[in-house]
Amino acid sequence: MGKVLIIGAGGVGGVVTHKCAQVPSVFAEIMLASRTLEKCDRIAAQLGKKIETARLDADNKDEVTALIKKFGPDIVVNVALPYQDLSIMDACLETGVHYLDTANYEPPDEAKFCYKWQWDYNERFRDRGILAVLGSGFDPGVTNVFCAYAQKHFFDTISSIDIMDCNAGEHGQAFATNFNPEINIREITQKGKFWENGEWKETEPLSIHETFDFPQVGPREMYLMYHEELESLVQNINGLERIRFWMTFGQEYLTHLRVLQNVGMTRIDAVEYEGSKIVPLKFLKALLPEPSSLGENYKGKTNIGCMMEGVKDGKRKKIYIYNVCDHADCFREVKAQAISYTTGVPTMLGAMMVLTDKWKGSGVFNVEQFDPDPFMEKLGEYGLPWVVEDRS
Ligand code: NDP
């Protein structure tokens, strides 16, 4: 029986809270804290279980520390924004409480996706005897666990991995992002990057694309991007020769994005406007629908998975491990769309792994460094069934 402090009451935070509330044997007490208290209370009112809520500015380490001391959680789950990762990790260090997140730290003034800042905490977490679990969403998260599971059960060596993220859903809005608009647009407008034969190769943003026929979804155009799990998987999967990340986008989305970029609305540097400084992307975020508001009319499915090739017992082997998730089913269960759902379920599961001692240790770890089996055993049970297809 454990206590969890969830920080961030957005699309993902809502799902994590619902999912933790569904497992009282592990999460006996729950607190949801976020910048806007009303959002925490709105989520709390959807649950059949009583939880605590609090207003919190997680950029302020002292505020986070004080709240941890007051509530006394066994683990802090960070589903606010990547900007808060380090202040929350600092508060966990000060109070000696485990930490878990879904997105790597980013400095607000630079769209740089890199684990270095958080990996640099390894010794401090180790010396404090606590665990930081990084990237326990779907991608990063489940995709990393799929790779670890394949390495353990299906291959002697994996030579290539293609992580493919397809959202074939329709939300009925002209333009909206499925997770925080600011973080999403920073990620998509950066240069593409993949790893091949021991070196990183850069590509122009969204310049490489291919069609893939996604099971239960159909053919979709997917675009090569950089995504943070590539950095840790390169280190943790043996014998890897190439790893790439792909995401599908519709033409309507790409056209809107191109126009917004061309007129400067995706800039992250401050511009002068009538005597004040504003960051165009932050202003754009304020105009776009919140990810948590998209669920009600969302239809269609996601298919996210890993295509892997390698060798087993001297023979070439190729498999595709994936999950298919239906937006409308997610809304019926937890009032969220499938992107929040596919992120929130593994977030809850990662916390469950720590609280039930299935994942343990001291230091900073990416999820593929733990035993994948207990996580994979629970993934279907808690809403994300997975399929392994032999494509040899
Ligand atoms: P939302 O924008 O819906 O939610 C973010 C929440 O964090 C909001 O409620 C926001 O408060 C709160 N917040 C922001 N700043 C602070 C702060 N300083 N202190 C306290 N709370 C704060 O985003 P999502 O729920 O879609 O995404 C949440 C996280 O999940 C992001 O980091 C995203 O990158 C990550 N993610 C990871 C995925 C994965 O598969 N690994 C996939 C999708 C998302 P307010 O409401 O007041 O703005």
What is the domain partition of the chain in residue ranges? Answer: 2-138+343-374, 142-334
Neighbour count for residue 256 (Cβ, 10 Å): 14
Which residue, judged by its Cα, is nearest atom 34 of ligand 1? 103
Give residue 7's pLDDT band: very low, low, confident or very high (50, 70, 90): very high
What is the reported pLDDT for 113?
Answer: 84
Ligand 1 within 6 A of CB of 102: yes
Ligand 1 within 6 A of CB of 13: yes
What is the reported pLDDT for 125?
Answer: 98
Per CATH, the homologous superfamily of domain 2-138+343-374 is NAD(P)-binding Rossmann-like Domain (3.40.50.720)
What is the reported pLDDT for 1?
Answer: 77
Residues forming beta bridges with residue 133, ordered by sequence position: 100, 365
Give residue 141's pLDDT band: very low, low, confident or very high (50, 70, 90): very high
Cα–Cα distance measured from residue 63 to residue 345, given in angstroms and rounded to the nearest whole number: 27
What is the reported pLDDT for 48?
Answer: 87
What is the rounded average pLDDT of the residues 198-222?
97
What are the tens digits of pLDDT across the range 325-354?
A: 999 999 999 999 999 999 999 999 999 999
Answer whether residue 4 shows pLDDT above 80. yes
What is the rounded average pLDDT of the residues 229-243?
96
What is the reported pLDDT for 109?
Answer: 83
Answer whether residue 111 shows pLDDT above 80. no
Give residue 291's pLDDT band: very low, low, confident or very high (50, 70, 90): confident
Question: Using an 8 Å Cβ cutoff, are 295 and 337 in contact?
Answer: yes
What is the rounded average pLDDT of the residues 146-153?
98
Ligand 1 within 6 A of CB of 35: yes
Note the CATH number of domain 142-334.
3.30.360.10
- What mean pLDDT, rounded, does the chain reach? 96
Nearest ligand 1 atom to alpha carbon 13? 25
Answer whether residue 182 shows pLDDT above 90. no
Cα–Cα distance measured from residue 99 to residue 90, given in angstroms and rounded to the nearest whole number: 10
Answer whether residue 57 shows pLDDT above 80. yes
2-138+343-374 matches 142-334 in fold = no
What is the reported pLDDT for 120?
Answer: 98
- Lowest-pLDDT choice from 19-23, 105-109, 357-361, 386-390: 105-109
The CA 218 to ligand 1 mean position distance, Å, reads 30
Q: What distances in angstroms separate CA 261 from CA 239, 283, 293, 300, one per listed residue?
A: 39, 14, 24, 28
